[in-house]
Amino acid sequence: MSRLVPPHGGGELRPLLLSGEELNKEKEKAKGLPRIKMSSRETSDLIMLGIGAFTPLDGFMGKEDWKGVCDDYLMSNGRLFWPIPITLSTTKEQADSLKEGSEAALIDEETGELMGSITVKEKYTIDKVHECKQVFKTDDTEHPGVAKVMSQGDINIAGPVKVFSESYYPGQFKGLYMRPAESRKMFEEKGWSTIAALQLRNPMHRSHEYLAKIAIEICDGVFIHQLVGKLKPGDIPADVRTQAIDVLVEKYFVKDTCIQGGYPMEMRYAGPREALLHAVFRQNFGCSHLLVGRDHAGVGEYYGPFDAHHIFNEIPKGSLELQPLKIDWTFYCFKCDGMASMKTCPHGKDDRLILSGTMLRKMLSEGAEVPDHFSRPEVLAILQDFYSKLEDKVEVKLHKYAEGA
């Protein structure tokens, strides 16, 4: 019998997405409410709340929760582990016009869509620099996650939300987009109880395949879980990634050992803290394990390559039911005669096949031959095709050695 890991917090999944009569009623009502415009990060967080991926949260966080999460990874009830603030902001002017206890409509500023509503419980200011230093370990606005926080509205609005829409995600990522209740159902139908999530925002080369296969060796299956929310410029678009992963899975994985899913969150690039958030919501999706590779959810040089490993030892025991599968830097080694990592390969630099992201991109965009063993030929063909059609061949700064997850 399948015994999945419980949702975060130990209770039931808590999706906040309305449907049917209730949805119509609340949407109608919201048309007459003051409108708060949400950034793309806030919108994607609202959808995560909607599908139950942020279970057991009931809305955007108040000041005590914000502070507890920033400083101690803990909600203000002192019990629930949470690693990154989930907040909504607006201008001082609009905040002044919102009465506590009143409702407001939530609008996606990019699409203009009415996404949900909030009951305003609290309006508060935060020390943005403090949040950034705690969450991102930096207040450098070159960091894309920091930039988002620093440019958000000056007043945070907190309170329970009702969610009306999942935006374009279910349509645009049909077959990939998946809600926690759906992934759990699929796992149960397969009789799985141990599932490792593989966070992915890049195509899968041999290194990622190796991570996935380590997980398959010891778990019932792997959940290749792609971010389909916003990325930074230069990252490969989700449809190309999906094509490349599809062919890899078809040719190199045993049938029914891996499920692909997409989730609508926007990358914050918060490195170790984001790895913890990945763990929290993967548990909601029914995963018992999370693969944590090198520079997980990192960007630039802000985090040590294994900070996201260490942080799982720093949080209080029992914070998560999900267990991290921490994997070192991986590569093909000629002496090992297969894939290996710094933990399993004792050989030298010259025995290992290591390509920088920049070098790989150059090879792909120029149609040059990528050395054997680095990636599957079927995957390379798709990427070569993508790059050959790119008009704008602007060089984008990629990670120095390998592409983080």
Question: Which residues have a catalytic role annotated?
Answer: 201-202
Closest CA to 37 of 87, 95, 101, 112: 112
Which residue type does 350 have?
D
Q: Is 342 in the site for a second copy (CB under 8 A)?
A: yes
Q: Is 346 in the site for a second copy (CB under 8 A)?
A: yes
Q: Is 343 in the site for a second copy (CB under 8 A)?
A: yes
Q: Is 337 in the site for a second copy (CB under 8 A)?
A: yes
- Interacting residue with a second copy among 114, 181, 186, 216 (CB under 8 A): 216
- Interaction pattern, residues 218-237, with a second copy; x per rule: CB under 8 A: x-------------------
Q: Which DSSP string corresponds to 1-32?
A: ---PPPPTTSS-----B--HHHHHHHHHHHTT
Shortest spacing between CB 380 and a second copy, in angstroms = 14
Shortest spacing between CB 25 and a second copy, in angstroms = 45
Nearer to a second copy, 92 or 335 (CB): 335
Q: Is 381 in the site for a second copy (CB under 8 A)?
A: no
Cβ count within 10 A of residue 150: 15
First to last CA, the chain: 32
- Please choose, out of 64-72, 228-236, 335-343, 381-389, the segment that lies near a second copy by the rule CB under 8 A: 335-343
- What stretches of 33-102 adopt beta strand conformation (E)? 35-38, 59-60, 88-90
Nearer to a second copy, 31 or 255 (CB): 255
Shortest spacing between CB 247 and a second copy, in angstroms = 13
Q: Is 197 in the site for a second copy (CB under 8 A)?
A: no
Nearer to a second copy, 311 or 340 (CB): 340
Contact yes or no for 8/55 (Cβ under 8 A): yes
Q: Is 373 in the site for a second copy (CB under 8 A)?
A: yes
What is the four-CA torsion angle of 370, 374, 379, 382, rounded to 10 degrees?
Answer: -30
Q: Is 163 in the site for a second copy (CB under 8 A)?
A: no
Nearer to a second copy, 168 or 252 (CB): 252
Q: Is 321 in the site for a second copy (CB under 8 A)?
A: no
- 112 Cβ partners below 8 Å, 6+ apart? none
- 47 Cβ partners below 8 Å, 6+ apart? 115, 163, 165, 166, 167, 169, 264
- 59 Cβ partners below 8 Å, 6+ apart? 16, 49, 118, 119, 158, 159, 160, 161
Nearer to a second copy, 143 or 326 (CB): 326
Q: Is 338 in the site for a second copy (CB under 8 A)?
A: yes
Shortest spacing between CB 214 and a second copy, in angstroms = 5
Q: 174: buried, middle or exposed (CB in 10 Å: 19+, 13-18, 0-12)?
A: exposed
Q: Is 213 in the site for a second copy (CB under 8 A)?
A: yes
Q: Is 190 in the site for a second copy (CB under 8 A)?
A: no
Compute CA distances 236 → 70, 208, 228, 387, whole Å. 31, 15, 11, 10
Number of residues that bind a second copy (CB under 8 A): 28
- Interacting residue with a second copy among 137, 273, 326, 361 (CB under 8 A): 326
Task: Identify the bridge partners of residue 143 per DSSP, sorted by sequence position.
Answer: none
User: What percentage of the chain's residues is helix, strand, coil (to nearest 5)?
Assistant: 35, 20, 45
Shortest spacing between CB 210 and a second copy, in angstroms = 8
| Span 42-101, contacts to a second copy by CB under 8 A | none
Shortest spacing between CB 258 and a second copy, in angstroms = 10
Burial 331-349 (b: 16+ CB within 10 A, else e): bbbeebeebbbeeebeeee
Shortest spacing between CB 395 and a second copy, in angstroms = 31
Contact yes or no for 34/141 (Cβ under 8 A): no
- Please choose, out of 120-128, 170-178, 236-244, 326-334, the segment that lies near a second copy by the rule CB under 8 A: 326-334
- Interaction pattern, residues 241-270, with a second copy; x per rule: CB under 8 A: ----------xxxxx-x-------------
Contact yes or no for 55/13 (Cβ under 8 A): yes
Q: Is 311 in the site for a second copy (CB under 8 A)?
A: no
Contact yes or no for 150/130 (Cβ under 8 A): no
Residues that bind a second copy (CB under 8 A): 213-214, 216-218, 251-255, 257, 325-328, 335-346, 373
